[in-house]
Structure 1
Amino acid sequence: MTPRRVLCLSGSLRRASANTALLQAARQLAPADLELQLYAGLDTLPLFNPDDEIEPLPAAVAALREAVGASDALLIACPEYAHGVPGAFKNLLDWLVGSLEFPGKPVALLNASARGSFHAQAALREILLTMAARLVASATVPLPGAGCEVGTILADPARCDELRDVLAVLAGTLAGD
């Protein structure tokens, strides 16, 4: 059986991002029936402008939409800045609003904030539902204090179990499609 593709989107531009580290750890813990790919173009996207949604799309936007279109699901790990979704990540989502690739995509949400990110997660859920995402509620979990390094996360058996549980739910969702 061909593995199902999951595109991992980090909402952080930080080099030492706990949310990016969570996604990288999830990639290493993924079961054989899931292939996780980390999107690395957040910092290359131009500022959203509806006037630029005509063909040809900016190259970075076309690459993002192609990656989303080639995926079976999305795994998002996003921090909170000033009680909201970071601007760069909101910009990424804005570029997907008018796309044909995004609607109906199963989406799981992670968050590594040590203080929690209630406001950003609530806003992110609202944005994603408005965009016609299929939020996988049982695969949407906070993982506070996960650590900023993949090795730290992978050395924590409880954290690994939490990530495996999220991935198992996501895989089960995709198996039902």
Structure 2
Amino acid sequence: MRAGSGNAAVLGTVATLTETTTFTGLGDLPHFNPDDDRDPLHPAVASLRAAIAAATSVLICTPEYAGGLPGSFKNLLDWTVGGGEIYGKPVAWINASSVAAPTGGGDAHDSLRKVLTYAGAEIVEEACARIPVPRAAVADGVVVDPDLRERIAVAVKRLSEGG
């Protein structure tokens, strides 16, 4: 949700490399409640599910927060389970954290793997990457460092080939 983040810059960079849709409604999603996972869905949930259904693959960029997935992102994932749109969908993630954390974001990605596996997503291992993006490598919402851009492009190519 933080516009100036390395994760946002990775997604902005991906948008310059390939046709993409970025889901920007994370902050609009209601708290997940199984009782509300029925028609009519909250408009933000319907938008999320429609975006996933229309996608040929899904690329996720999320930071680790307090040793796991940020609560708002876990909430988004919870909304993906009941709809089934992510089932069988090729999915990968890029870890853009440039902060030296004890796990390098590994705990968040372990949680992400668990939820995505439960939801039936097809994790494209070759496309999952740790590409630390320091603030100095970002300008105008995209990664400008050529080496980092190339690593992002490789991950995107692998995701498209894995699906």
**Same structural fold, with TM-score higher than 0.5 when normalized by the shorter chain:** yes
CA distance in 2, matches of 1:48, 1:71: 22
- Mapped to 2, the partners of 1:141 and 1:48 lie a distance apart of 29
Tell me the distance in 1 between the aligned counterparts of 2:52 and 2:147.
30
Identity %: 41
Q: Quickly say closer, same or farther: Cα 1:43–1:78, change in 2 above 3 A.
A: same
1:157-172 equivalent positions in 2, closer than 5 A = 157-172=146-161
Distance 1:47 1:55 in 2: 16
Aligned equivalent of 2:45, options 56, 61, 65: 61
For the aligned residue pairs, the C-alpha RMSD in angstroms reads 1.6
Match of 1:4 in 2: none
Residues 153 and 54 of structure 1, relative CA distance in 2, 3 Å threshold: closer
The structure 2 residue matched to 1:138, chosen from 126, 131, 141, is 126
The normalised TM-score by structure 1 is: 0.84
Please give the secondary structure, in 2, of the residue aligned with 1:109: strand
1:23 counterpart = 2:11: yes
Kept in 2: contact 1:104–1:132 (CA 8 A): yes
Q: Is the 8 A contact 1:25 1:150 kept in 2?
A: no
Q: Is the 8 A contact 2:138 2:144 kept in 1?
A: no
| Aligned-residue offset at 1:167 | 1.4
Where does the alignment leave 5 or more consecutive residues of structure 2 unmatched? none
The runs of 5 or more residues in structure 1 that have no matched partner are 1-12
When residues 172 and 150 of structure 1 are mapped into structure 2, their CA distance, relative to the original with a 3 A threshold, is farther
Counterpart for residue 138 of structure 2? 149
- For 1:137 and 1:73, locate their aligned partners in 2 and report how far apart those are by CA, in whole Å: 13
Normalized per residue, the structure richer in strand is 1
CA distance in 2, matches of 1:16, 1:111: 15
Q: Which residue of 2 aligns with 1:119?
A: 107
2:81: which partner in 1? 97
Separation (CA, whole Å) in 1 of partners of 2:156 and 2:36: 35
- Contact persistence 2:133–2:143 (CA under 8 A): no
| Aligned twin of 1:71 | 55
Distance 1:70 1:119, change over 3 A: same
- Superposed structure 1 runs of 4+ greater than 4 Å apart: 150-153
Instruction: Note if contact 2:93-2:128 (Cα within 8 Å) is conserved in structure 1.
Output: yes
Q: Classify the secondary structure of the residue corresponding to 2:20.
A: strand
Q: Residues of 2 paired with 1:85 and 1:117: CA distance? A: 9
Are 1:29 and 1:160, in contact at CA under 8 Å, matched by a contact in 2? no
Deviation per residue, 1:23-77 (Å, 9 max, x gap):
11111123xxxx2111110000000001101211111111111111111110000
Q: Size of the alignment, in residue pairs?
A: 158
